[in-house]
Amino acid sequence: MTADTPPVFEADFAAQFDTLLRWRRDVRHFLPTPIADADLRALLETAALAPSVGNAQPWRFVRVRSAGLRKDLADHVDALNAHAAAEQPDNDRQAKYRTLKLHGLREAPEIIAVFSDEAPIAGHTLGRTTMHETLRYSTVMAIHTLWLAARLRGIGLGWVSILDPAAVATMLDVPRDWTLIAVLCLGYPEHPSTIPELERRDWQHREPVADRIIER
């Protein structure tokens, strides 16, 4: 196969791809099994196949190796999570919120913070002059690609957003032009499931997509 000969995707592959999408989960409960370095590298290589505005490839990955930084991150998220719980509208919701596990930062074998470069040289500003935020959208595309590539290998990913992005950027000492998009926990899931955890915990069920479509 050459670079100009598109592959034909067979029905079996299409069915498997659909299964992959249905089994992609946000994971917060991890086994201690480490992720092999080669697998992690392969995941990031695959993430970088994502589309990006002007081909700017603005994604920047910070692999958090330091136990001290991991603890700081987990403490930070726990503190903001306590505030988020208190902001729930009534006592019942607050109590239920507090039973949810919303990150696996203390136990996930790998933590990757994903930033978006707000001023990448690559792309030469093409496509982002009127919608600068397309750089961040591009980085989100890479995260979703990473998410699927991980699940394909049996690796779970959990997106953590209960944090102050500027505080995390300072903590991780990244360049000033980088905006935090996500902190990701990666590892082998303890309870693989086809049903989202928030649905299993009766917090929020999936709703029919028909309710999300309008016509003009």
Ligand X SMILES: Cc1cc2nc3c(=O)[nH]c(=O)nc-3n(C[C@H](O)[C@H](O)[C@H](O)COP(=O)(O)O)c2cc1C
Q: Which is nearer to ligand X, 21 or 36 (CB)?
A: 21
* 127 conformational bin, left if phi > 0, alpha if psi -120 to 50, beta if neither: left
Q: Which is nearer to ligand X, 123 or 179 (CB)?
A: 179
CA distances from 124 to 51, 53, 74, 135, 137 (A): 16, 10, 37, 12, 17
Q: Is 38 helix (H, G, I), strand (E, B) or coil?
A: helix
**Minimum CB–partner distance for residue 206 and ligand X (Å):** 8
Q: Is 40 helix (H, G, I), strand (E, B) or coil?
A: helix
Residue 128 contacts residue 66 (beta carbons within 8 Å)? no
**Minimum CB–partner distance for residue 41 and ligand X (Å):** 24
**Minimum CB–partner distance for residue 98 and ligand X (Å):** 13
Answer positive or negative: Cα dihedral of 4, 46, 50, 214. Answer: positive
Residue showing the smallest CB distance to ligand X in the complex? 196
Q: Which is nearer to ligand X, 63 or 101 (CB)?
A: 101
Q: Please give the Cα distance from 196 to 204 (Å, whole number).
A: 9
Q: Which residues bind ligand X (CB under 6 A)?
A: 25-26, 28, 102-103, 159-162, 196, 198
**Minimum CB–partner distance for residue 209 and ligand X (Å):** 13
Q: Which is nearer to ligand X, 118 or 203 (CB)?
A: 203
